[in-house]
Amino acid sequence: MEKQNILIVEDSRFHGAITKDILTKNGYEAIWAMSAEEAMKLNDFDKYDLVLLDVMLPGINGYEFCEIIKNRNPLIPVIMLTSMEDEKSMVTALESGADDYIKKPYSIKELLARMKVQLRTRKLQTELIKKNEELQKAYETIKKLSITDVLTGVYNRGYIKEYIEKLLESRKNSNIELACGMIDIDNFKNVNDTYGHLTGDIVLKSVGLICKQCVGDNGKVIRFGGEEFLIIIDKNLDKTEEIAEKIRYWCEKDRCCGFTYTVSIGLSIFKADTNNLFKDLEDGIKEADKLLYISKNMGKNKVTLNKGYNL
């Protein structure tokens, strides 16, 4: 079992040496400093499990040093050691951040018992912090999974609400210019029927990746359902048509499964009112969907754009 590290800050050579000897004999790793300044040269307070701190020190006194320790790491337990018995000294020690207060002379049993209480408390605090961190990581993982399409790795429709909330936080002006692109894989049923659903899944993954690479930091990619993807562009809207054309081009050139496939895209650029963002975005998606079917009816593998919608 790894030894626990105890820092002793005691200016008395007699008390310092005897305290270190007691702790060493009881299985602790004891480090002794004769002043706060000497202790601070050791620098790394995080490595100590507990500090035994004399009140009366040359230079920086025990109360002041206790505050310094607690500011650096509030979890390190500090037991103040003093020969003063007045209530004011005890209150000052506790107000400076000390976890316990023991009067000199003290018995070895009492000192060790008080140390064990503080070390046990710190262990429980450390375990609680670790558990909280694990719970936070689990929560973040679950949250990420809840808004991520498992197959393609892009966002799913559940992310739209979170996206709108983040957009509202970051944009202060009343109108936000956005673009919505509905992307549909042409003749995807034939891909599944001819090559199988596993091959179809590979195509879906590839389209998702192409969309992410083409959109980049300019917006978000969402698997809207089946073989449909939604892109929402909220930056550099002058590049919206170029982004859509790149997606169409690279999908046509893609040979992830050894055959050619294409996509059709409907693209709507519009201004959304921050007071009605959910509704305006929904309308923008509907308009993009209508434009998608114009692309389909015009022979597929096309981008149809409506710049004038809601401007």
Torsion angle defined by CA atoms of residues 61, 62, 65 and 66, in that order, rounded to the nearest 10 degrees: -150
Which domains can be identified in the chain, with CATH numbers? 5-133 (3.40.50.2300), 155-306 (3.30.70.270)
Q: Which of 135, 76, 77 is nearest to 102 (CA)?
A: 77
Average pLDDT over residues 177-199: 96
**How is residue 144 written in tokens?**
């990420």
pLDDT single digits (tens) 45-75: 778 999 999 998 999 998 999 999 999 889 9
Residue 88 DSSP one-character state: H
Contact 73, 45 (CB under 8 A): yes
pLDDT single digits (tens) 144-169: 999 999 999 999 999 999 999 888 88
Show the CA angle centred on residue 309, arms to residues 179 and 280, nearest 5°: 65
**How is residue 46 written in tokens?**
């995080």
pLDDT single digits (tens) 88-133: 888 888 889 999 989 888 889 999 999 999 999 999 999 999 999 9
Does pLDDT of 80 surpass 70? yes
Question: With 0-12 CB in 10 A as exposed, 13-18 as middle and 19+ as buried, what is 33?
Answer: buried
pLDDT for res 307: 64
Quote the CA–CA distance of 79 and 90 in Å, as a whole number. Answer: 11
pLDDT single digits (tens) 233-245: 999 999 999 999 9
pTM, full prediction:
0.68
Question: With 0-12 CB in 10 A as exposed, 13-18 as middle and 19+ as buried, what is 300?
Answer: middle
What percentage of the chain has pLDDT greater than the value 70? 97
